[in-house]
């Protein structure tokens, strides 16, 4: 082979190798490239996250060829740690900014933060949740990798300065969430720990006999006579369990709907779902089909929710109302009201057996 022929062959092989590398790069998602090679990050966070104890983080990662990846993290700084994680491995920057980020900022008044702070909060949330006995959300490793794979080496010593409250833990949420995510202990055992506060309705369905003394004290204070109470505690517990399961299904369905729509889910979906279920059970119980519920009737449920949370802080109230609106949109588009309708049927059966619907938990 002549010198010119060898030179042409080398050039041909280089071009072939370059094309192969380009195809390999294009076959990998932007998220995988950022995780392995690094990228430029832009991050946003909900305001007053220190005061409220809850933060929703939005992270947009850029790679060199103009492609982007998106990840979002729901961080409970007071108790659970990393409560949720989701995203898109490949996303158009224009779509993210115009359809997702713009709407999210309008709903939450979110502000931009430096990537180092976002990384520190997510790493701390993972460590904090683990040490408190909580399982991490499914797929968390994939979305956390937007900060680069080296973040996993930092988790055992992640900074916890922003986590915890008053030297302990404060759980804001439903008992059903605890049952799903705790590992190594039951919800009852967790809430019995002296350093744990629970913001919610402390009733026998969760604590059982541990609250008998407190229940007696409350009854004395309100001058409720023993013979005026005719409620079967087992029926009460079963009714609350049914409502909590329906609320959990509704919140999960709404998160799936948000992911399909490329919309960030509201931070307080779980709490708003339980209140929504409690306010809508009587309405849905009277309907032949869940789809028969009108927009006006759904808005009436929202008005009931606003009335119920009137005593909480303005930021918390606005967050709950925004979450309820997102639940309502999902129910109209995806028929998620059917899960609540099933709860309504079960609630009617429990009521016929002598139980009284427990009040929804309202965060304070």
The Cα 85–Cα 138 span in angstroms is: 8
Is the pLDDT assigned to residue 243 strictly greater than 80?
A: no
What is the residue-averaged pLDDT of the chain? 75
In SS3 terms, 281-334 reads as HHHHHCCCCHHHCCHHHHHHHHHHHHHHCCCCCHHHHHHHHHHHHHHHHHHHHH
Burial category of 18 from C-beta neighbours within 10 Å (exposed 0-12, middle 13-18, buried 19 and up)? exposed
189-215 burial, b if ≥16 CB within 10 A, otherwise e? ebbeeeeebbbbbbbbbbbeeeeeeee
What is the separation, in whole angstroms, between the first and last Cα of the chain? 83
Could you tell me the pLDDT band of residue 95, with boundaries at 50, 70 and 90? confident
The Cα 84–Cα 137 span in angstroms is: 5
At residue 78, the 3 state secondary structure works out as coil
- Which pLDDT tens digit goes with each residue over 115-150? 999 999 999 999 999 999 999 998 899 999 999 999
Residue ranges of the domains in the chain? 37-157, 228-352
Supply the pLDDT for residue 133: 94
Q: What percent of the chain has pLDDT over 90?
A: 37
Query: 207 near 190, Cβ under 8 Å?
Result: no
Q: What is the mean pLDDT of residues 4-8?
A: 69
Q: Which of 78-87, 156-165, 338-347 is least confident?
A: 338-347
Is the pLDDT assigned to residue 154 strictly greater than 80?
A: yes
Q: Which of 77-81, 168-172, 177-181, 301-305 is least confident?
A: 301-305
């Amino acid at each position: 082979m002549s010198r010119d022929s060898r030179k042409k062959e080398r050039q041909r092989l280089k071009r072939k190798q370059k094309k192969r590398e380009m195809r390999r790069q294009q076959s990998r998602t932007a998220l995988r490239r950022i995780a392995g090679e690094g990228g430029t990050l832009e991050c946003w966070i909900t305001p007053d996250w220190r005061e409220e104890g809850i933060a929703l983080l939005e992270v947009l990662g850029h790679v060199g060829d103009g492609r982007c990846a998106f990840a979002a993290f729901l961080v409970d700084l007071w108790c659970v740690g990393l409560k949720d994680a989701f995203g898109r491995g490949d996303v158009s920057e224009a779509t993210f900014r115009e359809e997702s980020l713009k709407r999210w900022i309008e709903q939450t008044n979110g502000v931009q933060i430096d990537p180092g702070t976002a990384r520190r909060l997510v790493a701390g949330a993972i460590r904090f949740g683990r040490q408190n006995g909580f399982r991490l959300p499914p797929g968390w490793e994939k979305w956390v990798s937007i900060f680069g794979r080296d973040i996993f080496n930092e988790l055992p010593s992640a900074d916890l300065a922003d986590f915890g409250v008053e030297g302990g833990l404060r759980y804001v949420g439903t008992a059903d969430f605890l049952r799903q995510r705790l590992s190594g202990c039951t919800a009852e055992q967790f809430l019995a720990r002296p350093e744990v506060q629970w913001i919610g309705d402390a009733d026998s369905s969760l604590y059982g006999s541990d609250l008998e003394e407190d229940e007696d004290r409350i009854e004395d204070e309100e001058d409720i006579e023993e013979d005026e109470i005719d409620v079967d505690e087992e029926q009460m517990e079963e009714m609350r369990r049914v409502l909590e399961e329906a609320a959990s299904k509704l919140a999960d369905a709404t998160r799936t709907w948000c992911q399909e729509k490329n919309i960030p889910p509201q931070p307080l979906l779980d709490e708003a779902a339980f209140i929504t279920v409690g306010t809508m059970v009587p309405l849905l119980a009277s309907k032949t089909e869940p789809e028969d519920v009108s927009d006006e009737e759904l808005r009436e449920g929202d008005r009931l929710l606003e009335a119920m949370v009137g005593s909480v802080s303005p930021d918390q109230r606005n967050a709950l109302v925004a979450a309820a609106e997102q639940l309502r949109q999902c129910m109209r588009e995806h028929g998620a009201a059917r899960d609540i309708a099933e709860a309504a049927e079960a609630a009617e059966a429990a009521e016929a057996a002598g139980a009284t619907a427990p009040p929804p938990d309202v965060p304070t």
